[in-house]
Structure formats: structure tokens, C-alpha cells
């Protein structure tokens, strides 16, 4: 995979160094264009060192030709173009189809998807002309957006215009490399559950499991990057910046998760029940912390509601309901039984007793079994990649 990164003139350019370094570590081939403004904040030597490839500047653009024009070569080479930070100046040029430097000429000479990460002062961002250009650019299906956020800006103001964090931009890059920029979930409402529920027996003690929410977050990110309108109901989540288009709803225990999933189910087109919901809970709850000497030696347990079974009874013909099963040993037999018993459209079963797989890992592997009888084997890969393979398999 080949990613071309265009760096504009803003202090947020320093964040792009982390993006370049992270992408290189995943084996992606990188080239970087520095605008004249971008060079005022980071040097060609910096990005060349991180990308292991010479950086391109406008000086290279205006050199005598040795082969084909540079902007043509770069435009044809890239599978994805990322512009970060996107300044008001470059935004205006892109919106009007203007090209007066290497970056903007390369944009016009390319056909690949383009990911934009805008960054500017709040007053600049709120200008009518800037917002007009932003809306105009949004009409072009080539452009995808890691949107500007609210935060402390270099001008010491707190407001809109802060560039998205690398941990938000990086998943979007990997998604676009997988999908080629397609938005096959546009207009679809996607409901995802994730994390391991915590069933408390006093305010500080609970029955739980090791689920971290990484898989469900990856599913939510993948769906949002493909145009879906995503709601993520979570008990636990990794501490990372999350695409602000994803609606987050916290549900710590099984009762709260049941309430939220049922409440949002009717409007969903696709439901991915990836949460590791407890099977039992303490039968009794103390609203005060129990002294150690009063802790029960035998903890009485009670069943919790079977959320996915309840949802399957509510499911309408247009809805797809996907279950998940974390298993040890034979992962297929119990998953097939669950698929049939709970009337699911598909079930994703994954081993949690293999290294670098399952709970807490950044990678996973699985088998997706569909009601139609089709089977998709997903080899070990990053959880975001697995999420896209699941979505590919559903549709």
C-alpha cells in the first residue's frame, strides 16, 4: 500500500510525524510533500528520516524534467492521499480546483481517495468563506474527513479548529486503504455493543471478564469510515481518541446494556453484538462497601437477561443481527448452536486461548458463520482489518 502525505503550514504539522512513523512500522510505503508553509514548521530532513524516502517540496516541482512530471508520477503512485494539517489556504484551492504548487497539482493529477485533517484558528474556521469552501468540498466523493475538533489552539484559545489526533487519523487511513474509499454503509444505522460488563455486588467489587472493548471499537470505526451512522454502546473502551461522529453510550452492567440496546434497536439496520456480556450476576447487592470479614464465602449468583436473544425476537426483515462468541478449544460447534438457537444472521467466533488473539490484544482471528451456510475464515490480523472483513462478509 502506498500513502502520499501532504503537510500544510500549521503548528499541527508536528502531529504528522507520529502518523508517518506509525504507518512506516506497519509496512506501508510512504512519500511526503511539504508545502512552503509546511516547511516553516518541520523540515524535509525530519519527514525523510521518518518515511525513509526523500521529501518533496515546491523546489522539486519546478526543477527541469528528467522523466515524467513529478505531480503526475506522485498522483498515479498513491493509493491514498492524506492532507494534514489542511489549512484554510489549501482548502480554498481544493474547493475551487486551483493548482499553484506541488500538492494541489498532485491532487488534480490523482484519482485516489483523499483524507483531510483540517486545522486552523477558530475565527478562521468559522468564516463564511471557509465554511462555504468546506461544504463545497464535501460534495466531492473523493474527500473523506477526519474532522476538526474542539481544544486548546496555538493561539491560546479553546475552540473549534484543532486537528484530529493521530490515533483518530491512523485508523481512518487503514480503513481507506482497505475499502478504496467506498461508502457502502451510507445512510445505514449501525448499532454496536462492546466491552466486558461488570456485575457489582458492592460499590467497589464486581464479577467481570478481560474484554477491553477494542474489537467493538474497531467495528464502530470501520462502519463509520464506510459512511454508517454509528452508535456504540460500551461498558469499557480503550483510552484513545475516537471518531467524534460515533455516538458513545456507556452501559456498565448487563442491565444497563440491555436497556440501551433495546432502546436503540428499532432504528438500527445492522447490529453487531460484540460485547462480552456476563452470563450471571451476584444475586444480592450492597449499597455500602462490605467489610472484608463480611464478604460471602459462597457468592450466590443469578442469571442476567439474554440480550441478543431478546433482540432476535424484535428483529424485522430488513435488520441484520450479528452475534459474537469468544471460545476456547472447539470454537465452531458452540457457535453453530448459538447461531441457530438465537436466530442470528451470522455469528463471529474467535479463540481466546491462542497467543496474540482475543481479549486485550490489538490483533484477532475468527470464523464467521452465516445462516445461509457460508463460512468466512479470518486469518490473524489487526482488529480494524478484521472488522472490515466482517462487514465485507455481511454485505
Q: Is 69 helix (H, G, I), strand (E, B) or coil?
A: coil
Look at residue 356 in the predicted model and tell me its pLDDT. 82
pLDDT digits (tens, 9 = 90+) for 214-270: 999 999 999 999 999 999 999 999 988 888 899 999 999 999 999 999 999 999 999
Whether the ω angle into residue 391 lies within 30 degrees of 0, i.e. cis, is: no
Residue 362 labeled ligand binder: no
Residue 289 labeled ligand binder: yes
Dihedral sign (CA 102, 107, 108, 109): positive
Task: Provide DSSP, 156-212.
Answer: S-EEEEEPPPHHHHHHHHHHHHHHTT--TTTT-EEEEEESB--EEEETTEEE--S--
Residue 293 labeled ligand binder: no
234 forms bridges with which residues in the sheet? Answer: 194, 250
The Cα–Cα gap between 356 and 352 comes to 9
Residue 296 cell numbers, joined: 460471602
Residue whose C-alpha is closest to residue 82's, from 175, 159, 11? 175
Q: How far is residue 17 CA from its own chain's centroid? A: 20
Q: How many beta carbons lie within 10 A of that of residue 82, not counting itself? A: 28
Dihedral sign (CA 147, 153, 155, 159): positive
Residue 308 labeled ligand binder: yes
Q: What is the CATH number of domain 189-394?
A: 3.40.50.10300
Q: Is 216 helix (H, G, I), strand (E, B) or coil?
A: helix
Is the pTM for the entire model greater than 0.85? yes
pLDDT digits (tens, 9 = 90+) for 24-78: 999 999 999 999 999 999 999 999 999 999 999 999 998 876 678 999 999 999 9
Residue 242 labeled ligand binder: no
Chain region(s) in the chain for CATH 3.40.50.10300: 189-394
Domain 2-179 sits in CATH 3.30.360.10: no
The Cα–Cα gap between 279 and 368 comes to 22
Residue 279 labeled ligand binder: yes
Radius of gyration of the chain measured on its C-alpha atoms: 24
Active-site positions read 155
Chain region(s) in the chain for CATH 3.40.50.1950: 2-179
Task: Out of 158-162, 176-180, 336-340, pick the least confident.
Answer: 158-162
* 357, pLDDT greater than 90: no
Amino acid at each position: 500500500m502506498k500513502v502520499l502525505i501532504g503537510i500544510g503550514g500549521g503548528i499541527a504539522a508536528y502531529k504528522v510525524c507520529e502518523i508517518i512513523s506509525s504507518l512506516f512500522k506497519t509496512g506501508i510505503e510512504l512519500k511526503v510533500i511539504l508545502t512552503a508553509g509546511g516547511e516553516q514548521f518541520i523540515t524535509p530532513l525530519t519527514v525523510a528520516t521518518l518515511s525513509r524516502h526523500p521529501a518533496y517540496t515546491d523546489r522539486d516541482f519546478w526543477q527541469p524534467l528528467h522523466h515524467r512530471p513529478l505531480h503526475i508520477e506522485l498522483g498515479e503512485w498513491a493509493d491514498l492521499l492524506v492532507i494534514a494539517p489542511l489549512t484554510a489556504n489549501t482548502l480554498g484551492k481544493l474547493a475551487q480546483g486551483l493548482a499553484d504548487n506541488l500538492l494541489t497539482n498532485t491532487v488534480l493529477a490523482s484519482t485516489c481517495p483523499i483524507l483531510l485533517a483540517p486545522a486552523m484558528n477558530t475565527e478562521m474556521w468559522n468564516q463564511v468563506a471557509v465554511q462555504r469552501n468546506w461544504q463545497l468540498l464535501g460534495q466531492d466523493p473523493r474527500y473523506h474527513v477526519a474532522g476538526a475538533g474542539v481544544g486548546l489552539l496555538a493561539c491560546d484559545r479553546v475552540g473549534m479548529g484543532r486537528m484530529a489526533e493521530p490515533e483518530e487519523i491512523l485508523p481512518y487511513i487503514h480503513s481507506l486503504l482497505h475499502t478504496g474509499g467506498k461508502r457502502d454503509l451510507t445512510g445505514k444505522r449501525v448499532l454496536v455493543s462492546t466491552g466486558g460488563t461488570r456485575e457489582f455486588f458492592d460499590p467497589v467489587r464486581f464479577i467481570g471478564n478481560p474484554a477491553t472493548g477494542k474489537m467493538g471499537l474497531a467495528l464502530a470505526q470501520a462502519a463509520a469510515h464506510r459512511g454508517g451512522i454509528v452508535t456504540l454502546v460500551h461498558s469499557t473502551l480503550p483510552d484513545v481518541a475516537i471518531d467524534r461522529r460515533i455516538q458513545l453510550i456507556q452501559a456498565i452492567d448487563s442491565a444497563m446494556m440491555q436497556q440501551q440496546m433495546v432502546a436503540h434497536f428499532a432504528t438500527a439496520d445492522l447490529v453487531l453484538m460484540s460485547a462480552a456480556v456476563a452470563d450471571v450476576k451476584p444475586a444480592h447487592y450492597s449499597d455500602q462497601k462490605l467489610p472484608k470479614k463480611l464478604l460471602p464465602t459462597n457468592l450466590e449468583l443469578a442469571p442476567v437477561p439474554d440480550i441478543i436473544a431478546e433482540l432476535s425476537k424484535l428483529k424485522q426483515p430488513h435488520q441484520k443481527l450479528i452475534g459474537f462468541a469468544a471460545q476456547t478449544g472447539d470454537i465452531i460447534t458452540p457457535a453453530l448452536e448459538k447461531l441457530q438457537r438465537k436466530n442470528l444472521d451470522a455469528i463471529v467466533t474467535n479463540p481466546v486461548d491462542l497467543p496474540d488473539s482475543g481479549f486485550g490484544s490489538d490483533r484477532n482471528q475468527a470464523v464467521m458463520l452465516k445462516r445461509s451456510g457460508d463460512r468466512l475464515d479470518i486469518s490473524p490480523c489487526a482488529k480494524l482489518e478484521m472488522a472490515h472483513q466482517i462487514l465485507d462478509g455481511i454485505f
